[in-house]
Chains A and B, each alone.
Chain A
Amino acid sequence: MDCTDIRNRLHAYLDQELDPRSATEVDRHVASCAGCNAALARQSALRSALRSHATYHDAPAGLARRIRARLGAKAERKPWFRWHQWLPMGAAVAATALLSWTAAIQYVSVSEDEATGERVIAGHARSVVTGHVADVASSDQHSVKPWLSSRLDYSPPVTDLTGAGFPLVGGRLDYLDQRPVAVLVYRHREHMINLFVWPLQEGARTQAVHSLAKRGYNVLHWNDGGMAFWAVSDLNAAEMRDFAGAYAAAK
């Protein structure tokens, strides 16, 4: 393994796109080669500079509204049917609906975890769409925790992770599986992370960390200390693992 080989892989290494074996080779080489070590340090510094200083341009206020208005106009331009023409069509719609309904029932085989993952994604998406990020907006874990505890029959572990690059933004309540649950809100660069926490039921199986990617969201689930944790965000899977690692380490 010479330096040219390593330099060619450095970007993929930095981007966590190398397979584990190849990454280990780079690790070993960089540990003993000053030149490659400096090259890696320079690239890491560039990355930090980009992530901390490059402007992330949020959509201007009102853009969503302007788009909705244009979609509405487009939708209304469709030809209008007279209502007596609608009857057979309505019957067809109803029949299709019935068929799809029946088809949907067949989907019950979806694992429970996946269904919970979907609900967690929906909860996160809802908060983004409505702009309802937190009920209690505070980076102070000592004000978020009591706020949540006073409204729930359990007390979720709340830790600020600013040191690890995931500052606490606040907390909110959501309603999932017929019970109110705590949602801790963290930020990473311009991305929101929602961490749903609720107590495990008696006798619930403790299982390994599992992840789910859907519609541009990544979900990471783990159980720890009698609580179920579901983290959801549009961060990539590697950053989600970083987040979970930081959370576990801070506990």
Chain B
Amino acid sequence: MALIRSFARVSPGGETAGRQSGTRGPREALSLDDQTRVRRFESFFVPHLDAAYNFARWLTRDERNAEDVVQEACLRAFKFIDSFRGDDGRAWLLGIVRNTYYTWLKRNKVATLAVPFDEESFDEGEMEASTNTHADPVDQLLQEKDAKRLVNGALERLPEEFREAIVLRELEGLSYKEIAAIAGIPLGTVMSRLARARKLLLQYLRQAQES
């Protein structure tokens, strides 16, 4: 009983040891490392495949490219799986998806819209003052039939550093700390990017409704 309990713990070494000491023939044992890796991959990363795809889909804004990025990211995750300590498979995989995306972007030289933006000088107060003169765009939006199209369109328009932050926060429900780790940026930057993303989204939604 004590033994069984100890293996229920997610300790990668312990888990594989339990299986290795079973009755495995020599031929199977040869590819044991790979089998173990595949098994670890299955248990740590496959449950987060939807999260990986959703993230890649919002980064690339394209189905086929998203699938390419996720496949590539999974191969990378598999390659480095021995260095994964088993604490947070989702954050680890999403970090790899993000890196893979930026490599892919460079390789494919996809032109991205660069919006010049000085994060430090961003003033939330000013934004609120300017929107106060309008009827609330979001409340109106929720009544509209094509709310889905408008919201998705606004998200797609966001420059990617803001898009990734807001997708991780609102669609994946990640904390600032997790987003900071995935995007490799300080906590303060996570906060300012989210603030900026939300400001832009409100602006886009208003524009879309006015047109």
Contact = CB atoms under 8 A, between A and B. Distances in A.
Contacts of B6: 104-105, 107-108, 110
B8 A118 contact: yes
Interface in B112-131: 124-125, 128, 131
Nearest to B173: A236
B202 interface: yes
B210 interface: no
B132 A38 contact: yes
Nearest to B48: A216
Contacts of A190: 50, 54, 171
A8 B201 CA distance: 18
The A interface is mostly helix, strand or loop, or mixed, namely helix
24 contacts: A4-B125, A7-B124, A10-B124, A12-B176, A35-B128, A45-B139, A46-B138, A46-B198, A50-B155, A53-B152, A54-B151, A66-B71, A70-B75, A71-B38, A75-B38, A100-B16, A104-B18, A107-B6, A107-B14, A110-B6, A115-B9, A214-B88, A215-B44, A216-B47
A11 B198 contact: yes
Interface residues of A, number: 85
Interface of B: 2-3, 5-11, 13-14, 16-18, 20-21, 26-27, 29-32, 34-35, 37-38, 41-44, 46-54, 57-58, 63, 66-67, 70-71, 74-75, 78, 86-91, 124-125, 128, 131-132, 136, 138-139, 141-142, 147-148, 150-152, 155, 166, 169-171, 173-176, 191, 194-195, 198, 201-202, 205
Contacts, number: 235
Interface of A: 3-4, 7-8, 10-12, 15, 17, 35, 38-39, 41-43, 45-60, 63-64, 66-68, 70-72, 74-76, 78, 80-81, 83, 86-87, 90, 93-94, 96-101, 103-105, 107-108, 110, 112, 114-115, 118-119, 121-122, 125, 128-129, 189-191, 213-216, 234-237, 239
